[in-house]
Structure 1
Amino acid sequence: MNKKVVFPIILTTVLVCTMIPAVGWAENSSLEKINQEIAQIRARMSEQKKNISSLEQQISAIQVQQKELEDQLLYIDMRRNETQNKLDKLDGQIEVTKGEAVKAQQQLDEAVERVAKRDVLLKTRLRAMYEHGTVSYLEVLLGSTDFSDFLNRFHALQTIFEQDKRILEENIRDKETIEAKKKEVDEHLAKLETMFAEAEKLKADLDSQYKQSVAIKAELKEKEEDLHDSLVQFEENLLAMARQEKAKLAEKIRMQGGSVIASGGKLGLPLPPGSFTFTSGFGMRTDPFTGKSAGHNGLDMAAPKGTPIYAAEKGVVILAGLYRGYGNAVIIQHDETYSTLYAHIREGGIQVKVGQVVQRGEKIAEVGSTGRSTGNHLHFTVYKNDVAIDPAPLIR
């Protein structure tokens, strides 16, 4: 061989061999940097999730306080109504008792007037006896001219005696009866007025409590709204971080060879051929739980429990755990556009971790029936720009 030809070939080979480690080192360095950036983003997302959880707990606590205040306001309002009814009833009783007191006072005034008239009558008789000299009942009887005159004088004296006795008894009775009645009415009126004053004070206290509770409720409502505003801001920040993470994952995937989906390829079967039966397709169907027509965002593939589940394409695991009604689930991000969901995985059946790079056809989990499921099957969803699309045309 010509030496002039051999030397350039050898030189080229040496240069290529020298450059390969340098290129590999550069790629590894860039990949490590991306991994660090992803880890930092996830750390910030984790802290943000804690903040969101704390806010949600505070909002929940405030809502509990608001419910308790609502119950308290209802109770106070009920007692206010009861107290007002009591006040109205007492007010009516007071008016009636005042009428009785006026009537009793009138009766007492009349009795006093009767007593005064009787006193005048008795004083007139005493004055007449004084003016004509003191004459005993015995002298009147002994002055009789005959027996008939004696009887007449005796009956006359008896009448005077009975009349005087009756006047005195009526005086005593009138005074005692009417004064007792007046005292009873006054005591009853005083008692009613005391009860009215106590009820008024209770009503005032209840009104004060009601206003205070309303004010506290307004403060709690304002605080809840502020927390909701903060929560919205935190959730927006978390969403922005999720977009950053997705962008970094897409960059990582591109560095590792890109996605077959993005280049127009097909997805691999997520279950071994012949091991499953399609039981539900993408689109509208009858919900097995409610019996109503509802949308279905993926394919259901019935298979025995423990059947291996494979990654439909190369990508990075972004979720590996419980996921709402899907039970145990895995989500793989394939590039900046596509991701796939594998749901209802059996307990202990997840074989991958978040951040792990998986290859097409690599086992990631095992079939189960966790979450909102009626039997062992795999629910498989394909997302394009975070919107579910029919997986059937993409599977080969």
Structure 2
Amino acid sequence: MRHRRAFISLVVLSLLATLTASPLAHAYTKDDLEAHQKAAEEARKAAAAAEARAKDLASQIDGLEERMARIEADIAGLADDIERATERTNRLNAEVTDLRTQVAAKESEIASVQAEYDRTSALLAQRLQETYKQGELFFVQFLLDAQSIEDLLARTSLVERVIRDNQQTAAELEDTQHRLEAAKTELARTLEAVDLKRKEAAAEEKRLRDLRAQHRARLAEQEAVKRQKADLMAKNKAEAERLRKLAEEEEAESQRIAAELYGHGSGRFAGVMAWPVPGFYRISSPFGYRIHPILGVRKLHTGIDIGRDLDPPRSIDGATIVAAGGGTVIYAGYRGGYGNTIIIDHGDGVATLYAHQRSGSFRVGVGDRVTKGQAIGAVGSTGLSTGPHLHFEVRINGTPVDPMPYLR
């Protein structure tokens, strides 16, 4: 009977232990689920932001295409204007050529009349000279030599006709020359007016052609901007997809790590942890919520980032990483956004994580026992990293906590 009571008591205690343990496990899983749901939401926001940028770029491209269509319409309209201007220029050029031909013909006529005038003038001069040589009484003597009244009348008529013909010939030649000079002057005036119009038409044609060239240059610029924005839009879409995948990968890794480290340890760590990168003490990003440097959204930074020195500048790339405390290596490999990662179990639910290590730098493997301060790897920039640094985490029963209280 005593043994039976003892057995029943043992069963009851076991059931009580199971019942009391279950709520704790359920509470952790719920919190963990909420954390990952939040991380997933932030990842979706990052992807949505990239997609919004892509959508905005698509809208800008639509606007560019509308402007390009207007420019192309202007160019088409200018083509008609240029065609008309070219036709007018060609017509005026032909008119100028014709007028110049007419002016040249008039100049030729004037030269011919001038030659005739000169010849006649010379003849008259010769006649006057002969008359002068024979004396002023030449015509009187010519008349006195008449044999009869009829001869006198004939001689008188002849003298009058000679004098009249000479005067008429001279007057006609002078009149012809004046008319030709007037016609030439009028043609020259017309030529000057038409030539001025021709120059104006040529200038207008050049202006239109220059304007079309400017429009074509603007169109080429708009097409170049359109190509740039289209490329940027494609990159944003690709970046949105990449960020979504990286965020999901990083959150999945964090969740897997939490699941792997899940336990009911006390969370106590004996003493103070060793600084994980001796000689480099600048914290470039502390534990807590921040704007993710790659995802661009506010999310929990589950550890601290130890980066290069700034004063004086000194690179941390390749610096030695040491174990923060004694324990067993439970993971050494590549973990998505964490890159090359080592996880050390220190007991009592306490674990430390060392991420983004340089490829090929691991000095320990899974199952190895390490001591506090022992070299385990080197700083690098693998995984989801913007540059060489060590991402260091302290996790209690799988949940990331601020490492600083353990390091000080």
TM-score using structure 1 length = 0.55
Output the amino acid matched with 2:239: N
Alignment of 1:304-383 (within 5 A): none
Question: Matched residues in 2 for 1:111 and 1:187: separation?
Answer: 22
Question: Matched residues in 2 for 1:146 and 1:163: separation?
Answer: 25
Residue 215 (structure 1) aligns with: 217
Residue 48 (structure 2) aligns with: 46
- For residues 193-240 of structure 1, the C-alpha deviation after alignment (integer angstroms, 9 at most, x for no partner) is 333333333333333333333333223222212211111121223334
Q: Specify which of 190, 193, 197 is matched with residue 191 of structure 1.
A: 193
Output the amino acid matched with 2:174: I
**3-state DSSP of counterpart to 2:121:** helix
- For residues 314-335 of structure 1, the C-alpha deviation after alignment (integer angstroms, 9 at most, x for no partner) is xxxxxxxxxxxxxxxxxxxxxx
Question: Matched residues in 2 for 1:138 and 1:132: separation?
Answer: 11
Shift of 1:247: 8.8
Question: Matched residues in 1 for 2:208 and 2:235: separation?
Answer: 40
* Preserved contact between residue 38 and residue 248 of structure 1 (Cα < 8 Å): no
Output the amino acid matched with 1:54: D
- Taking only the aligned residue pairs, the percentage that are identical comes to 15
Question: Matched residues in 2 for 1:247 and 1:98: separation?
Answer: 87
2:167 maps to 1:165: yes
Question: Matched residues in 1 for 2:46 and 2:61: separation?
Answer: 22
Q: Specify which of 88, 92, 103 is matched with residue 86 of structure 1.
A: 88
Residue 37 (structure 1) aligns with: 39
**3-state DSSP of counterpart to 1:57:** helix
Shift of 1:242: 5.6
Question: Matched residues in 2 for 1:135 and 1:32: separation?
Answer: 147
Residue 72 (structure 1) aligns with: 74
Shift of 1:34: 1.9
Output the amino acid matched with 2:154: N
Output the amino acid matched with 1:47: A
Question: Matched residues in 2 for 1:154 and 1:134: separation?
Answer: 16
Residue 365 (structure 1) aligns with: none
Residue 101 (structure 2) aligns with: 99
Residue 18 (structure 1) aligns with: 20
* Preserved contact between residue 144 and residue 153 of structure 1 (Cα < 8 Å): yes
* Preserved contact between residue 47 and residue 241 of structure 2 (Cα < 8 Å): no
Shift of 1:57: 2.3
* Preserved contact between residue 108 and residue 175 of structure 1 (Cα < 8 Å): yes
**3-state DSSP of counterpart to 1:134:** coil
Output the amino acid matched with 1:66: M
Structure 2 residues not aligned, in runs of 5+: 254-408
Q: Specify which of 225, 228, 248 is matched with residue 227 of structure 2.
A: 225
Question: Matched residues in 2 for 1:135 and 1:80: separation?
Answer: 79
Residue 313 (structure 1) aligns with: none
* Preserved contact between residue 82 and residue 209 of structure 2 (Cα < 8 Å): yes
Residue 239 (structure 1) aligns with: 241
- For residues 251-270 of structure 1, the C-alpha deviation after alignment (integer angstroms, 9 at most, x for no partner) is 9xxxxxxxxxxxxxxxxxxx
Question: Matched residues in 2 for 1:184 and 1:209: separation?
Answer: 37
Distance 1:233 1:220, change over 3 A: same
Question: Matched residues in 2 for 1:71 and 1:86: separation?
Answer: 23
Q: Which structure would you say has the larger RCO, counting Cα contacts within 8 Å and 6 or more residues apart? A: 2
* Preserved contact between residue 48 and residue 238 of structure 1 (Cα < 8 Å): yes
Question: Matched residues in 2 for 1:131 and 1:158: separation?
Answer: 20
RMSD of aligned Cα (Å): 3.3
Shift of 1:244: 7.2
Residue 383 (structure 1) aligns with: none
* Preserved contact between residue 39 and residue 251 of structure 2 (Cα < 8 Å): no
* Preserved contact between residue 34 and residue 248 of structure 1 (Cα < 8 Å): no
Compare 167-176 and 139-148 and name the one that shifted more: 139-148
**3-state DSSP of counterpart to 2:135:** coil
Residue 322 (structure 1) aligns with: none
Residue 302 (structure 1) aligns with: none
Residue 202 (structure 2) aligns with: 200
Output the amino acid matched with 2:89: L
**3-state DSSP of counterpart to 1:216:** helix
Aligned length: 251
Output the amino acid matched with 1:173: D
Shift of 1:152: 1.9
- For residues 8-34 of structure 1, the C-alpha deviation after alignment (integer angstroms, 9 at most, x for no partner) is 233123213322321221122012112
Larger Rg: 2
Output the amino acid matched with 1:76: L
TM-score using structure 2 length = 0.54
2:106 maps to 1:127: no
Question: Matched residues in 2 for 1:158 and 1:189: separation?
Answer: 46
Shift of 1:137: 7.9
2:157 maps to 1:155: yes
Shift of 1:36: 1.0
* Preserved contact between residue 103 and residue 184 of structure 2 (Cα < 8 Å): yes
Output the amino acid matched with 1:157: V
- For residues 286-342 of structure 1, the C-alpha deviation after alignment (integer angstroms, 9 at most, x for no partner) is xxxxxxxxxxxxxxxxxxxxxxxxxxxxxxxxxxxxxxxxxxxxxxxxxxxxxxxxx
